[in-house]
Amino acid sequence: MKIPKLLTRHPVLFRGQTLIPSISIGVLGKVGFKRCFSTHLEDPELKDFMEYMDSLRNYEKLGVPRGAGTDSVDGFDLGRMRRLMHLLGNPQSKFKVRTLSRMFAVHIAGTKGKGSTAAFLSNILRAEGYSVGCYSRYGLIVSSVIFLIFCRDPTKEIVGSVASCGYHFYLSLLFYSIYSHDRLHFLTSPHIQTIRERITLGRFGEPVSSRKLNCLFLQIKKTLDKAMEQENWCVSHFEVLTAMAFTLFAQENVDIAVVEAGLGGARDATNIISSSELAASVITTIGEEHLAALGGSLESIAIAKSGIIKHGCPLVLGGPFLPHIECILREKAMSMYSPVVSASDSGNRSTIKGISMLSGRPCQSCDLIIRVERDIKLFIELLDLKLCMLGNHQLQNAAMATCAALCLRDLGWRILDVSIRAGLEHTFLVGRSQFLTSEETEALGLHGVTVLLDGAHTKESANALVNTIQMTFPEAPLALVVAMASDKDHGGFAREFLSGGRLEAVCLTEADIAGGKSRTIPASVLKDCWIQASKELGIAIADTRVAKFREGFEDQVVCSGNNLEHGTILAESSLIASFKVANQILRERRGNRSGIIVVTGSLHVVSMVLAALNG
C-alpha cells in the first residue's frame, strides 16, 4: 500500500511490526497494527528548556488530583504561584496599554469555549492595532493559542477598509499575503507541534520564538531553582509556563493580555491578576468536565470558576446557564461590585442564516446583535457576519468576545465596530471544525471524501459537533476516527454521535496524551464504552477487529446478530489503518454520495494528523 511522502517525512513510532522511516522513502512497506505518529518536535535550541519542563510535575500528563481546582485545603496552592511571581518581580503587573494609565488583562474561564473566545477577542484587539499577549492553558482544550495571519487576496476584501479600521491589522494581512494562505489562524490547546504555540505575542500574534523562550529560560533559571528549593520541588509545569508567559508579556510591553484559565479559576495559576490589573472577566460555560477535580458538582464548578471575578471589574457571561448556576455567578459578581454583561441576554440576537463556501471551506453567514441595558449599556449590530468558525456554539463564542470588546470600549479603549467584524471574520482555529483541503485529504491517501478535524472531547462538544455536521452536510454519511483521554465521559460522548444518525462507522484508536500514555484510554476499552452506549440507545452495531489492512474484513465480525451491511460498524485499529477502514466503509455504503470522515475525541489525535501533514 502506498503512503504519501508527507507521512514518511515525519518521524514515527511503530508498535508491533517494525518500520524505520527514511526521509528519502516515498512508499512505506509494511505498517504495524498500532502505528503512532510522533508529534511535538521542538527546536534543538530548546533542548535544555524542554528537559527542564519535562522534569516538572505535569498534571496534563498525570491527571488532576481530586479537589485540586477548588478553593479548599485540597486545592492548588495559589500562594506558591504568588511567591514565584514575586521572585520574578511580579511581571503580571508590568504590561500596560499605551494610552491608558491602568494595566490590563482579560481573564477567561469556563468549561467549553475558552480557546475560541480568546481567539476571537485577541483578533478583535489586533484588528484595532493593539499588541496582544495571549496565553492559553495546557490540558483540556487549551495549551496555547497560536496566531498566524494570512490573506490570499487582501485587495478584494479589506483594502477599502484600511482608512476606517485598524491600520496595523491590515498592514499585517498584506505583509503575510505572500504565504498564499487565508484567514487568521489560531492553533489552540493542546499545542499542535510546539510548546511555543501556548504563548503568542504582538500585533501579528506570532508564537514566541525559540530564541526568546530560551533566552528567558536562561535568564530566570537561577530564580526557578531558588523557587523549587523554597517550595520543596512542588512548582508544576503549568505554573512555570504561566510565569514565563507573564514575564514575556512584560518584556514585550504588550498593550493587553488575554489569559485563559487552566483549571477552574479560584486556585488556577493564572489567577494572580489583581483587580487593578484586570479589564474584564469572562466565564463561558459551566459543565461537568474535570468534575472530581472541581468539587464533584455543577455548583462547586461554578464556585471555582467564579474565583476569577475581581472587585469592580466587568463580568461577561456566556451560557446559557442553568438558573441556579447563573445565580451563583451573579451573586459572586454582586458581592464584588462587578457589573454583569450576559451574551445570552434576551435583548441580544444571534442567528445563523446559511452556509456558503469560502476559499474551499464552509463558512456561516450570521446576524449578531448585542443590546445590553443593565449594568453597562452596550450596543452593536453586525449583519451578514461571515464566520469561518462553524456552529451555534461558535456564534455564541463570538458573541462573548464581542461583549468583552464592548466592555473594553466602555472602559475607554478605542475599538471600532469594523474592527470587531474583521476580528471575528478572520478567526479560524486549527483543530476546531477544520475541514482539510482536497490536497491534504489526498496526502492522507483518501479520495472522494471530506475530512473534518475537531478536538471535541466532552458530550457537550460532541453534541455541538454533531449539530455542525448536520448543518453543513445534512445528507452525507459519516465515519468517525476517535481517540480519547482516560478521564473523559466516554459513554456520554458516544451517545451524542450514535443518537445523531447517519453514523456508518466508528474507528477507535489511541493517541498519547501530553507525550505519555498514562492518560490514554486503550482502544479496546473505548470500544466497550461504545458498545454499551449503543445497547442503552437500542442502536444496532457491528463490532469488527481490524488487525491489518485488508480490502475485505467481513470475516472479522465478532458480534452475531449484526452484519456489515446494516447498523454502525465498530472497528479498533491504528490511526493510519482507521483512515483506510473508514474510507472503505463509506465507499461501499455511500453510493454516489460524498461521505465525511471526522477525526475527534481529543486534540492530541488531531495534532497527530496535522503533524503528519506538516511533515
Give the CATH number of the domain where residue 414 resides: 3.40.1190.10
Residue 205 confidence class, pLDDT cut points 50, 70, 90:
confident
> Is the predicted pLDDT of residue 565 greater than 90, yes or no?
no
The residue from 394, 426, 458 where one domain ends is 426
Tell me the pairing of strands 184-188 and 145-149: antiparallel
Average pLDDT over residues 553-577: 62
Neighbouring CB atoms inside 10 A of 566's CB total: 11
Same domain flag for 313 and 351: yes
Same domain flag for 483 and 405: no
- Nine-digit cell string for 444: 492522507
Average pLDDT over residues 340-367: 91
Give the CATH number of the domain where residue 454 resides: 3.90.190.20
Do 252 and 201 touch, CB atoms closer than 8 A?
Answer: yes
Tell me the pairing of strands 315-317 and 280-283: parallel
- Per the model's pLDDT, the better-predicted residue between 7 and 442 turns out to be 442
- For residue 515, the model assigns a pLDDT of 65
Average pLDDT over residues 148-174: 36
CA–CA dist 289, 50 (Å, integer): 29
Asked if the structure places residue 12 within a domain, the reply is no
- For residue 13, the model assigns a pLDDT of 26
Same domain flag for 484 and 375: no
The residue from 364, 391, 426 where one domain ends is 426
- For residue 560, the model assigns a pLDDT of 28
The alpha carbon of 386 is separated from its chain's Cα centroid by a whole number of angstroms, namely 21
Which tens digit of pLDDT belongs to each residue from 443-458?
998 988 999 999 999 9
- For residue 64, the model assigns a pLDDT of 87
Same domain flag for 498 and 351: no
> Is the predicted pLDDT of residue 180 greater than 90, yes or no?
no
Same domain flag for 415 and 453: no
Same domain flag for 409 and 441: no
Q: Which residue has the cell 454521535?
A: 497
CA distances for 125 relative to 93, 186, 404, 562, angstroms: 20, 14, 11, 55
- For residue 271, the model assigns a pLDDT of 96
> Is the predicted pLDDT of residue 203 greater than 50, yes or no?
yes
Nearest partner of 519 among 484, 491, 480, judged by Cα: 484
- Domain span including residue 279: 46-62+84-143+194-426
Residue 540 confidence class, pLDDT cut points 50, 70, 90:
confident
Residue 431 confidence class, pLDDT cut points 50, 70, 90:
confident
Same domain flag for 422 and 438: no
Domain count, the chain: 2
Which tens digit of pLDDT belongs to each residue from 1-60?
333 333 333 332 222 222 222 222 222 222 222 333 444 567 889 999 999 999 999 888
Residue 552 confidence class, pLDDT cut points 50, 70, 90:
very low
Which tens digit of pLDDT belongs to each residue from 290-319?
899 999 999 999 999 999 999 999 999 999
SS3 call for 572: strand
Neighbouring CB atoms inside 10 A of 471's CB total: 16
> How many residues are recorded in the chain?
615
| Residue 435 host element (H or E) | strand 434-435
Which tens digit of pLDDT belongs to each residue from 228-267?
999 999 999 999 999 999 999 999 999 999 999 999 999 9
Whether residue 4 is preceded by a cis peptide bond, meaning omega within 30 degrees of 0, is no
Q: 555 — alpha (psi -120 to 50), left (phi > 0) or beta?
A: alpha
Residue 551 confidence class, pLDDT cut points 50, 70, 90:
very low
Nearest partner of 522 among 576, 489, 570, 485, judged by Cα: 485
Asked if the structure places residue 76 within a domain, the reply is no
CA–CA dist 62, 73 (Å, integer): 21
Cβ neighbours of residue 187 under 8 Å, at least 6 residues apart? 144, 145, 146, 193, 197, 429, 430, 431
Asked if the structure places residue 405 within a domain, the reply is yes
